[in-house]
Structure 1
Amino acid sequence: MTLSLSKAITRIALAAAMPILSLFLYGCASSTQITGSWKSPEALPQQYQRIVVAALTDNVLARQEVENDLQAQLRLRGIEASKSIDLFPPSAGAKTGPDVNLLLDRIKENGHDAILTAALVDEKTETRYVPGNVGYRPMTRFMWYGSFRGYYTYWYPTLYDPGYYTEDKVYYLETNLYDAQTDKLVWAAQSRSYSPGSLRRAAAKFAEITVQKMSEDNVISAQIRQ
Structure 2
Amino acid sequence: MWRFLRNALGFLVASTVLMACATATQPDEMWMDPSYRSLPKKIMVVGVSRKPVNRRIFEDEFVRQITAHNVEAVASYTVLPDELQGDHNAIAGKVKEMGADTVLITRVTGKKTVKTYVPGFYPPPYYGTWPDYYGYGYNAMYSPGFMAEEEITVIETNLYDASNDRLIWGSTTEVVKRGSSQDRINRYIGIVMKAMAAQGLFY
TM-score (structure 2 length as normaliser): 0.73
User: CA 1:195–1:161 in 2, change beyond 3 Å: closer, same or farther?
Assistant: farther
Query: Could you tell me whether the CA contact under 8 Å between 2:33 and 2:167 is conserved in 1?
Result: yes
Q: Partner of 2:116: helix, strand, or coil? A: strand
User: 2:115 aligned to 127, 138, 141, which one?
Assistant: 127
Q: 2:114 & 2:197 partners in 1: Cα distance?
A: 32
Match of 1:50?
42
Task: Please say if residues 126 and 132 of structure 2, whose CA atoms lie closer than 8 Å, have aligned partners that are also in contact.
Answer: no
Equivalence for 1:11? none
- Percent of pairs with identical residues: 24
Number of residues of Structure 1 aligned to a counterpart in Structure 2: 181
In the alignment, is residue 204 of structure 1 matched against residue 186 of structure 2? yes
Distance 1:137 1:41 in 2: 57
| Structure 2: segments with no counterpart, 5+ residues | 1-17
Deviation at 1:80, TM superposition (A): 0.7
**What's the counterpart of residue 165 of structure 1?**
147
Structure 2 letter corresponding to 1:193? V
Over 3 Å counting, the alpha-carbon distance change for 1:141 and 1:195 in structure 2 is farther
Instruction: Output aligned runs, 1:3-42, within 5 Å.
Output: 29=19, 30-32=22-24, 33-42=26-35
CA distance in 2, matches of 1:34, 1:131: 28
Q: 1:105 aligns with which of 66, 71, 93?
A: 93
Q: Matches of 1:119 and 1:183 in 2, distance apart?
A: 18
Closer, same or farther in 2 for the Cα pair 1:218/1:45, shift >3 Å? farther
The match for 2:197 is 215
1:80 to 1:123, Cα distance in 2 relative to 1, 3 A: same
Instruction: Quote the RMSD (CA, aligned, Å).
Output: 3.0
Q: Distance in 2 between matches of 1:127 and 1:36?
A: 21
- Gapped regions of structure 1 (runs ≥ 5): 1-27
Deviations, residues 18-70 of structure 1 (Å, cap 9, x unaligned): xxxxxxxxxx8423331232222332232x11101111111223222221221
Whether the aligned pair in 2 keeps the contact of 1:179 and 1:185 (CA below 8 Å) is: yes
* Contact preservation (8 Å) 1:128, 1:166: yes
Q: Which amino acid aligns with 1:73?
A: Q
Change (3 A) 1:133 1:185: closer
**Distance across 1 between alignment mates of 2:76 and 2:129:** 65
8 A contact 1:118–1:175 mirrored in 2? yes
The structure carrying a bigger helix percent of its residues is: 2
Residue among 102, 117, 120 paired with 2:105: 117
Q: Is the 8 A contact 1:133 1:159 kept in 2?
A: no
Shift of 1:133: 6.5
Per the TM alignment, residue 176 of structure 1 is displaced from its structure 2 partner at its CA by 0.6
